[in-house]
């Protein structure tokens, strides 16, 4: 068919494709991209939730093991047995005593779920063992086991006299049997250490805690990995293989185990990586300090992104069908217009050859017919137009010369403007260099000021002399901070601790913090005032005096929460200026509100006294002092404040952990909440376990 040879048909098809194909491609791309982003977000949240759940389970498992070994070591029977084993010199009587207690230890081993239990005297000699591979009489300090993780665990527990959880290791004298040890000191009635109790944990129980693949599809895996003898291994069986000597080793070559490498490097994150077998997976990785191991939650890309692949295939089929429809429409439309256009083309060629008598005979009543009539009118007017063109050409040279002169004038003006701009640029560049130099000097001065400010803060070593279990989460917004903490040691095993939030942050806040530290030291140590409410009363007077706020425009001040901790009397005295405190007893969070009076600032009306509150330490108590920076931080999906309610819930969920672990969870929660948002204020949280 001739119309298939028509250029119009092909051009029409091309233009239809130019108009339709980019739009359709864009719609397909947006649909695919949005669906992929949604799926990735859902996968990330799912893996993050699984990781959080698994980390909580593992931390609880570690705490349970430490609690069990400490509970066993604290029983009177173990203390009595240890004293008898160490004090008995008669070999026959000693052997009989060990044989009698062997059954008891095996019973406790089954009750607490340990694989084995070993009783060791302070010199490192094994006195009693339920593990045949660890014979009685072996010395961990000088014998064949002195370089093993068992020996190191014994030495740590014997040194710090606290329950201890070891690294994962191989059981001595075994064929790569993986285990970990928990140890606790044994004390006599006078609370003096008389031995160490060490137990080998049951890896199978850890497996039951963690190996839950609900919601992870067919290829999802939960990997717990650690480094044993400088070799990365699987602590627990992965989903595809059980642990053997051949399968628990991890291939750490360049294109494998990317998530495992990041987890062992104490990194936290998620994304597309290669797994230990070189497969493409979507994974979330996290480091677990309590186990000194890495956790990787992963799912094969093929399964994870299967829905998006199906969507892509459907979209491609729709695009293909649409293209076929456009091809069919283009050639049928072209067929309607090709015949009259060919006739018009033949006439046009004759007119172009000089025959102006030709006319286009087109009977169509559509736009093509109108085009034929218009073409005939155009032919008749060609001569007239030619004459008009000749007349226009006569005037063209004059107009060109006139325009050329105008352009020359404009060029000269532009050259002058360019010279002025060049001079301005040089001046701006010089000003920029001077400002850069001044800024560098200012930043250097403020950075040195940070060292001075850090020097006046109390040392953790000094605080730990009185308070054994505490943490201080301190995160200034700028180089120097308007928040600071203060500690004062008092006679009779008493102390003062304060969290202070000065007006502003950065340099102004830092200057106020220096004034606050000096006034607290002067009031407590020179004026001999140690009652919290009296300290705040005196601080109110002294700030007003130092800043001369009665006669100046200075309205800066500070909010303070200060506590006096009396360990012998088992009580805490608190007074607050705008800063409340929380304390948790019996899993119940309690808030003591501060007086709505700031120190300094706009508080120039008649003096008001601060109230004193007393907390009785009738049960284990977690005490928290803080500034408002944590609760006021913007973040989250909705870009809103974290809020006091969420801050309370977070503290309540963490209070049972060791203070160091609470600090880590506070930092991690803040980092995830901010998600790239800038820090708005100085942040400080102090926790004391009493």
**In this predicted model, what pLDDT tens digit does every residue of 369-414 receive, in sequence order?**
666 667 677 766 775 765 666 677 767 767 777 787 888 888 888 8
Residue 367, SS3 per DSSP: helix
Residue closest to 515 by CA, chosen among 535, 490, 544: 544
Relative orientation angle of helices 506-521 and 367-456, to the nearest 10 degrees? 20
Output the CA–CA distances (angstroms, integers) from residue 583 to 166, 291, 591, 652, in the order listed.
Answer: 32, 29, 7, 9
Give the distance, in angstroms, between the CA of residue 257 and the centroid of all CA atoms in the same chain. 21
Specify the pLDDT at position 369: 67
Q: How far apart are CA 507 and CA 498, in angstroms?
A: 21
Residue 665, Cβ density class (10 Å: 0-12 exposed, 13-18 middle, ≥19 buried): middle
pLDDT winner (highest mean) among 301-315, 397-411, 517-531? 517-531
- Inform me whether the pLDDT recorded for 356 exceeds 70: no
Specify the pLDDT at position 246: 46
Q: How far apart are CA 407 and CA 398, in angstroms?
A: 14
In contact, 544 and 600? CB cutoff 8 Å: yes
Question: Which residue matches tokens 């790569």?
Answer: 176
| pLDDT-based confidence at residue 415 (cuts at 50, 70, 90) | confident
Output the CA–CA distances (angstroms, integers) from residue 491 to 468, 511, 567, in the order listed.
Answer: 17, 30, 11
Q: What is the mean pLDDT of the chain?
A: 82
48-57, 326-335, 417-426, 456-465: least confidently modelled range: 326-335
Specify the pLDDT at position 548: 81
More confidently predicted of 9 and 40: 40
Kindly report, as residue ranges, where domains of CATH 3.30.450.20 are found in the chain: 74-204
Q: How far apart are CA 687 and CA 690, in angstroms?
A: 10
Q: What is the pLDDT of residues 250-275, one digit of tens each?
A: 776 767 778 788 888 888 888 888 88
Q: Determine how β-strand 231-234 pairs with β-strand 221-228.
A: antiparallel
Tokens at 341, concatenated: 């256009």
Q: What is the pLDDT of residues 313-322, one digit of tens each?
A: 777 777 777 7
More confidently predicted of 336 and 490: 490
80-94, 498-512, 528-542: least confidently modelled range: 80-94
Relative orientation angle of helices 532-546 and 506-521, to the nearest 10 degrees? 120
Tokens at 392, concatenated: 């226009």
Relative orientation angle of helices 306-352 and 367-456, to the nearest 10 degrees? 140
- Inform me whether the pLDDT recorded for 239 exceeds 80: no
Residues paired with 561 in a beta bridge: 499, 576
More confidently predicted of 473 and 312: 473
Specify the pLDDT at position 585: 96
**Mean pLDDT (whole number) for 527-534:** 95
Specify the pLDDT at position 372: 65
**Mean pLDDT (whole number) for 424-439:** 80
Specify the pLDDT at position 389: 67
Kindly report, as residue ranges, where domains of CATH 3.60.40.10 are found in the chain: 457-689
Output the CA–CA distances (angstroms, integers) from residue 61 to 54, 184, 263, 290, 664, in the order listed.
Answer: 10, 16, 20, 10, 18
- Inform me whether the pLDDT recorded for 157 exceeds 70: yes
**pTM score:** 0.45
Specify the pLDDT at position 88: 65
In contact, 477 and 682? CB cutoff 8 Å: yes
Counted residue by residue, the chain has a size of: 690
CATH of 457-689, one of 3.60.40.10, 3.20.20.210, 1.10.3720.10, 3.80.10.10: 3.60.40.10
More confidently predicted of 683 and 35: 683
Q: How far apart are CA 251 and CA 559, in angstroms?
A: 55
Specify the pLDDT at position 504: 74
1-5, 24-28, 195-199, 556-560: least confidently modelled range: 1-5
**Mean pLDDT (whole number) for 585-598:** 95
Number of H helices, E strands in the chain: 14, 25
| pLDDT-based confidence at residue 485 (cuts at 50, 70, 90) | very high
Q: Where does 555-677 have alpha helices with state H?
A: 644-654, 659-674
Q: How far apart are CA 308 and CA 215, in angstroms?
A: 18
Give the distance, in angstroms, between the CA of residue 32 and the centroid of all CA atoms in the same chain. 28
Report the top-level CATH class of 211-304: alpha beta
In contact, 666 and 473? CB cutoff 8 Å: yes
Residue closest to 519 by CA, chosen among 586, 577, 592, 594: 577
**Mean pLDDT (whole number) for 127-136:** 83
Tokens at 365, concatenated: 């009543």
Which fold, 74-204?
A: Beta-Lactamase (3.30.450)
30-34, 121-125, 138-142, 508-512: least confidently modelled range: 30-34
More confidently predicted of 439 and 336: 439
More confidently predicted of 32 and 109: 109
């Amino acid at each position: 068919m001739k119309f298939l040879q028509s250029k119009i048909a092909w051009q029409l098809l091309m233009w239809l494709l130019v108009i339709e194909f980019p739009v359709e491609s864009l719609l397909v791309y947006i649909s695919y991209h949005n669906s992929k982003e949604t799926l990735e977000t859902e996968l990330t949240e799912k893996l993050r939730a699984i990781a959080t759940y698994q980390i909580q389970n593992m931390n609880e498992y570690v705490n349970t093991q430490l609690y069990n070994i400490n509970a066993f070591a604290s029983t009177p029977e173990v203390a009595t047995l240890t004293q008898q084993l160490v004090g008995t010199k008669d070999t026959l009587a000693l052997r009989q005593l060990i044989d009698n207690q062997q059954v008891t230890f095996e019973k406790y081993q089954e009750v607490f779920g340990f694989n084995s239990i070993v009783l060791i005297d302070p010199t490192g000699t094994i006195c009693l063992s339920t593990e045949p591979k660890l014979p009685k009489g072996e010395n961990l300090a000088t014998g064949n086991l002195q370089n093993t993780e068992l020996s190191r665990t014994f030495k740590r527990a014997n040194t710090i006299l606290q329950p201890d959880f070891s690294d994962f290791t191989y059981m001595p004298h075994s064929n790569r049997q993986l285990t970990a040890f928990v140890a606790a000191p044994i004390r006599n009635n006078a609370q003096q250490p008389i031995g160490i109790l060490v137990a080998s944990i049951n890896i199978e129980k850890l497996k039951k805690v963690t190996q839950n693949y609900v919601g992870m599809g067919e290829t999802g895996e939960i990997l717990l990995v650690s480094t044993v003898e400088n070799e990365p291994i699987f602590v627990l069986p992965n989903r595809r293989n059980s642990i053997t000597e051949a399968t628990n080793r991890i291939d750490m070559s360049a294109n494998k185990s990317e998530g495992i490498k990041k987890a062992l490097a104490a990194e936290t994150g998620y994304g597309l990586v290669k797994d230990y077998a070189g497969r493409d997976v979507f994974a979330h990785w996290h480091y677990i300090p309590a186990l000194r191991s890495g956790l990787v939650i992963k799912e094969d890309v093929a399964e994870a992104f299967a829905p998006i692949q199906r969507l892509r295939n459907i979209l491609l089929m729709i695009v293909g069908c649409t293209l076929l429809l456009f091809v069919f429409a283009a050639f049928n439309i072209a067929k309607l217009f090709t015949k009259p256009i060919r006739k018009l083309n033949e006439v046009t060629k004759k007119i172009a050859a000089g025959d102006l008598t030709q006319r286009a005979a087109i009977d169509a009543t559509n736009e093509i017919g109108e085009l034929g009539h218009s073409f005939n009118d155009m032919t008749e007017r060609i001569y007239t137009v030619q004459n008009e063109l000749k007349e226009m050409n006569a005037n063209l040279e004059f107009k060109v010369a006139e325009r050329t002169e105008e352009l020359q004038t404009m060029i000269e003006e532009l050259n002058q403007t360019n010279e002025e701009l060049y001079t301005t640029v040089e001046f701006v560049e010089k000003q920029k260099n001077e400002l850069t130099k001044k800024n560098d000097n200012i930043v250097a001065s403020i950075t040195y000021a940070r060292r001075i400010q850090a020097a006046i803060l109390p040392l953790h070593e000094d605080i730990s002399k009185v308070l054994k279990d505490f943490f201080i989460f301190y995160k200034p917004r700028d180089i120097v901070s308007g928040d600071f903490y203060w500690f004062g040691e008092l006679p009779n095993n008493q102390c003062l601790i304060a969290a202070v939030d000065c007006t502003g942050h950065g340099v102004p806040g830092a200057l106020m913090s220096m004034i606050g530290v000096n006034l607290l030291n002067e009031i407590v140590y020179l004026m001999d005032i140690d009652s919290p409410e009296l300290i705040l009363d005196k601080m109110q007077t002294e700030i007003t005096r130092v800043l001369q706020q009665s006669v100046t425009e200075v309205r800066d001040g500070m909010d303070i929460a200060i506590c006096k901790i009396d360990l012998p009397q088992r009580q805490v005295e608190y007074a607050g200026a705008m800063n409340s405190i929380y304390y948790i007893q019996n899993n119940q969070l309690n808030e003591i509100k501060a007086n709505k009076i700031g120190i300094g600032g706009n508080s120039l009306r008649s003096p008001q006294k601060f109230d004193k509150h007393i907390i009785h330490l009738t049960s284990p108590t977690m005490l928290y002092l803080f500034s408002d920076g944590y609760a006021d931080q913007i973040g989250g999906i909705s870009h809103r404040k974290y809020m006091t309610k969420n801050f309370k819930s977070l503290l309540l969920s963490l209070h049972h952990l060791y203070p160091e672990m609470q600090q880590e969870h506070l930092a991690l929660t803040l980092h995830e909440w901010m998600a790239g948002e800038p820090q708005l204020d100085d942040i400080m949280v102090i926790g004391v376990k009493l």
